[in-house]
Each structure stands twice: as structure tokens, then as C-alpha cells.
Amino acid sequence: MNDKIMKGMDIMRVSQLLNPTLREVPAEAEIISHKLMLRAGLIRKSASGLYTYLPLGLRVLRKIESIVREEMDAKGGQEVLMPIMQPAELWKESGRWDVYGAELFRLKDRHNREFCLGPTHEEIITDLVRGEIRSYKQLPVLLYQIQNKYRDERRPRFGLMRGREFVMKDLYSFDRDEAGLHENYVKMYDAYCRIFSRCGLTYRPVEADPGAIGGTGGSHEFMVLADSGENSVVYCSGCDYAANMEKSECRPQATEDTAPEGQRALVPTPGVKSIDDLSKFLAVPKSSLVKSLLYQGDEKTFLVLIRGDRTLNEIKLNNALGGFISLQLAAPELVENILGCGPGSVGPVGVPEGLMVIADAEVPLMKRAVCGANKAEHHYVDAIPGQDFRIDQVHDLRMVEPGEECLKCGAPLKEARGIEVGQVFKLGTKYSKALGANYLDENGVEKSCVMGCYGVGVSRTIAAAIEQNHDDNGIIWPMPIAPYHCIIVTASTKDALVVETADKLYQELKNLGVEVVLDDRDERAGVKFKDADLVGYPLRVTLGSKTLANGQVELRERKTGETHLVQVADLAQQVKEIIDKALLC
């Protein structure tokens, strides 16, 4: 093989790289990360919610996987690889085949046997452990994989943020008892902090609801903070408390009542359809109104009461009632059948004895309330909770609001937007009992393994990183997950000294362990600069005839925009030092 061919293979040249950048924003892209990943040539759409990773996108994915793998191994995790296609029998055994819902991809083989494409792997891993673990001496064990997952999203959108196929790391811990579970939970919590710090991201761990994974223990989500985040999180301005908006506990607050006392009275409210309408019509604050909502959980119906100025949290409601497969507002026909009125006139006074009434913790603190009368276009005023209407159960059922007092320290709570990139769960014995994953203790007594589950959205982390790190010109990659650390741009491909020096600097950087690519295309310098900024290489080295005549090249940092003239002889070492410093942060 001649020297010319060897030279071409030895250098990663942009002219040979499959990196099709786009000038225009694709019409399908809705959020920044989706737009920039398509424009920067990192991914291409194969079908709705399905994407092909191009070389630079795959390099980012592999870097995040490597960080995750190193941190899992450091905590004693053992890597396995489980099947994507899972038998329905295991899901039926755990009770989730019917519970998981429409997001579960279901299929049948040629023998008409049922399977699903794994959205998660609790059943498979528990089945593996029940066949292999016999004694307490084999515990604890931590098993993980990095693999594609599948969820039939109703509306796939936002690129890698919400797709039907995605890459996830899931680790499962099996312990003898709750103490062991807590120890591994803390280990994973710490590992996740290290993972997202190493990825160069600004994040917050927040208390969370376990959702479809289930379990009775604690759960935390790891949120990358970004204005485009789908999730709302609240955090304390005075301590380390932080929680998903849907999980955050609320301190019940009583409202001041300065109006003269009166007896309950039925008043006509013609044309009133909403809380806002009622507040204006009666000239009373919304905090003195009670919203009455008829809900249906599976086959059960119940009446939910919450103050008029508050927002009901359906996750809290479902958890308070033990968890339903389906929870939704009752249809107007059902409301009419049970209470004799439309949804806009529903109230708690005189409801049927068999209908359970569940109230948010603030409702019993109301001295008098305005509520529906279960009669079209009529409401009661001065109704007294507990006297004029019964309350069967009281729970914290509302959404927290920014500015409220933190339950831990009393300081005001603040709100931020976040993108969930990881979650840790204490599953307890939910799956081990259902599937019979047991062990014998020191006394020969059979007990259920106590489980934990820990997931990182590897592909989603790519999108989250871009949402947090970009400007009008493109992506600004944190150094640890950038596809390449440095790009060398030749301002002219006709100048032999420029071309020769670029090749020489490339080899020097590569010999120092720098991940570098050389833009050798016969394009204007401005085009190359735009592409370098769009892709987001952390460092750009530019070689031009004029500066090189003085023995210098231009070094630019993408994040700060700072540009320096550096002597050719010093360039490689200076680049190496910048990269090493960034990787240590």
C-alpha cells in the first residue's frame, strides 16, 4: 500500500466523513435538540419515532455509554444482555400484561405465542435471578445492561426526547433486606450524580413518583435543567429539597374569611360553567370555592373536592386510592346518571351514601365554601365542610405552587423546567413475590429478594445535553461527550504550507490522545466555520496563509468564543491542556 493511500486512511478528514449538515431547519423538528441533531448530521429519521445514528451521533452515544458503564462497574454492577423480545407469560405472571397499556408493543410468533418488545426488563431479570440465586450468600447482586427499549408512544415527537425506540441503561439490584436495598440505592444515586457530572451537565435529583414501574419505596428522578424541559420541578431556595411538581408534598393553607357568617343558601347561577365564571358571578375569590369532580377509577366512582384556586394532582389522587389501571374524569352521561346534573353543577351536598367523598387537605380548613348544588345552574353559598357535607377521606391531592413554603425548612420553593434523564426506584418485593425470586437465609427460611431498579436514558441524555448547551450557531458540546474534541480547519487547500502543517498538527494532536478531525474540504473558510459551530466541536484550530507566515495558527474555544493566536510549535500541547482540564471538571 503506497504512502498516499496510507496517509488518507490515517487522518479523519471531513471530506471522507458521513456528516451531511443542513442549512435549513427541517419542518418536522419542533425543539432545539431535534433541529440541531438533524442539521448537524447526527441522526436521520427512518420512521416516526425511529432514528438512524450517523457517525458523529453514534460517537456521542458511545461516549455516554462508556461513562455509564464505568460508573456501574465501579459500584459492583455486572453487565448482562437480555432479550429485547419478551414472552407474554412473564408479564402476565407479574400482572403487568394488561396494566402497562397501549405503549406496550405486542406481537405473536408463527405459533401464535404472545410476546412484547421490552420497554423495561423487570420481568426478564427477575426470572433470571429466580433460576440462579438460591442462598443469602449469593446476595447482593447488581446486574445491568445497555440496550434498546421500545414504547409505542401515542405521539412520538421531539426527536430522541420521546421516540418509540431508545437506548437505556437499566440496572437491577437484588438484596436480602431493606437495609441492603437502601445501601445500593445510595450507591446508584451517587453513581448517577457522577455520570451526569462527568457528562458536563447541570442537573438536579428530585423526589419522584415511580409510575408504571411501581414499587412501594422511594424514587428520585435526575433532571437536566433546561427551559425546554417537559417536566416542572420545584426546589427549595434554602435547603437541598427538590421534587417533581407531581410528587412534591404540599403544606395545607387556610384562607382568611372576613365576610359575615351566614347559613347555607341555594342561589341561582345562570350561565355559569367554570370556576372563573362562578368567582366573577358571585364576586368571591376562587379560594372560597370548592371544585367537585366526579372521577372514575377502573369500575369505581368517587367525588373529589379541591379548593377552587388549586390544581388537582391526579398522580397523588391515584396513589392515595391505591392505584388504578385507568383513572379519568367521569363522562358527562355518568355524572348525570349519578348526581342528576352536568359536570359544571356538581357539588358535595346531599350526594348518595354509597359515593365516597375524597378531599384535599385544604378543604376541611375552609370555614365556609361555595360549591355546586347538583342542580343545573345553581350553587350553594356558605356551606360548611364536615357539617353541610361529609368528607370520607382527606389527602394531599394538589399541585404545589412556586413561592409556597418548603416542608423541610420553610424557605420559599422555586420552579424550574427539567428533562428527565435518569430515575432510581426502590421496588421492594413487588416483582420478586409475583415471580418467586426467593433465597434461603442463614436459618434456611425462604424469603423474597428485595429489589431496586435504576435507569439512565442514554439516547435522551444526548438530546438533553443539546437543549442545555447551544446557541444560535449550533451545538456547544461539553468536552466529555463531544464527538471529537478538536477540528482543524484549513482556510486554503491550495497553499502547500497550510496543507502540510495541518497534517503535521493532526498527527501531533492524535499522538497526544486528542480526538481530532481535519476539515480538508475545498470550501470557503466561512462554510467550514459555520459547520464547525453547528456540529459543536469544543476547539477549532484554523490555519491561514497570513498567520502561518508568522508561525502562528488561530485557536478558538466554542463555548466562550475566545480566540488566540498560538505558535505552531506550542499548539498541540496547549490544546491537550485545555482538553485535560475540561475532562477533569
pLDDT of residue 219: 87
Quote the CA–CA distance of 249 and 123 in Å, as a whole number: 31
Question: What digits encode the pLDDT tens for the residues 449-508?
Answer: 999 999 999 999 999 999 999 999 999 999 999 999 999 999 999 999 999 999 999 999
pLDDT of residue 287: 94
Amino acid at residue number 226: A
pLDDT of residue 213: 47
- Domain topology for 3-13+484-584: Rossmann fold (3.40.50)
Among residues of the chain, what percentage have pLDDT more than 70?
A: 96
- Domain topology for 32-249+414-467: BirA Bifunctional Protein; domain 2 (3.30.930)
Q: Which residues contact 438 (CB under 8 A, 6 or more apart)?
A: 130, 432, 446, 447, 448, 449
pTM for the full predicted model:
0.86
The pLDDT confidence band at residue 188, using thresholds 50, 70 and 90, is: very high
pLDDT of residue 1: 37
The pLDDT confidence band at residue 211, using thresholds 50, 70 and 90, is: low
Instruction: Answer whether 62's CB lies under 8 Å from 462's CB.
Output: no
Question: What digits encode the pLDDT tens for the residues 414-440?
Answer: 999 999 999 999 999 999 999 999 999
Lookup: cell for 261: 357568617
Question: What digits encode the pLDDT tens for the residues 515-559?
Answer: 999 999 999 999 999 999 999 999 999 999 999 999 999 999 999
Give the start-to-end residue ranges of the domains of the chain: 3-13+484-584, 32-249+414-467, 265-309+317-395
Architecture in CATH of 265-309+317-395: Alpha-Beta Complex (3.90)
Among residues of the chain, what percentage have pLDDT more than 90?
A: 81
Question: What digits encode the pLDDT tens for the residues 107-121?
Answer: 999 999 999 999 999
* Beta-strand pair 486-490/539-543: parallel
Quote the CA–CA distance of 70 and 194 in Å, as a whole number: 10
Lowest mean pLDDT among 70-74, 105-109, 270-274: 270-274
Question: What digits encode the pLDDT tens for the residues 139-160?
Answer: 999 999 999 999 999 889 899 9
Per-residue DSSP letters for 195-237? HHHHTT--EEEEE---GGG--SS-EEEEEEE-TT-SEEEEEES
Q: Which of 142, 181, 146, 225 is nearest to 421 (CA)?
A: 225
Enumerate long-range contacts of 4-8, CB under 8 Å, 24 or more apart: 7/503
pLDDT of residue 257: 65
pLDDT over threshold 90, residue 291: yes
Backbone angles phi, psi at 260, to 5 degrees: -65, 145
pLDDT of residue 365: 95
Q: Which residues contact 508 (CB under 8 A, 6 or more apart)?
A: 571, 572
pLDDT of residue 3: 42
The pLDDT confidence band at residue 228, using thresholds 50, 70 and 90, is: confident
What would the mean pLDDT of 28-38 be, rounded to a whole number? 94
Q: Write down the mean pLDDT value for the chain.
A: 92
pLDDT of residue 110: 97
Neighbours of 502 (CB within 10 A): 25
The pLDDT confidence band at residue 210, using thresholds 50, 70 and 90, is: low
What would the mean pLDDT of 213-220 be, rounded to a whole number? 64
pLDDT of residue 209: 67
Question: What digits encode the pLDDT tens for the residues 308-356?
Answer: 999 999 989 998 887 787 889 999 999 999 999 999 899 999 999 999 9
pLDDT over threshold 70, residue 566: yes
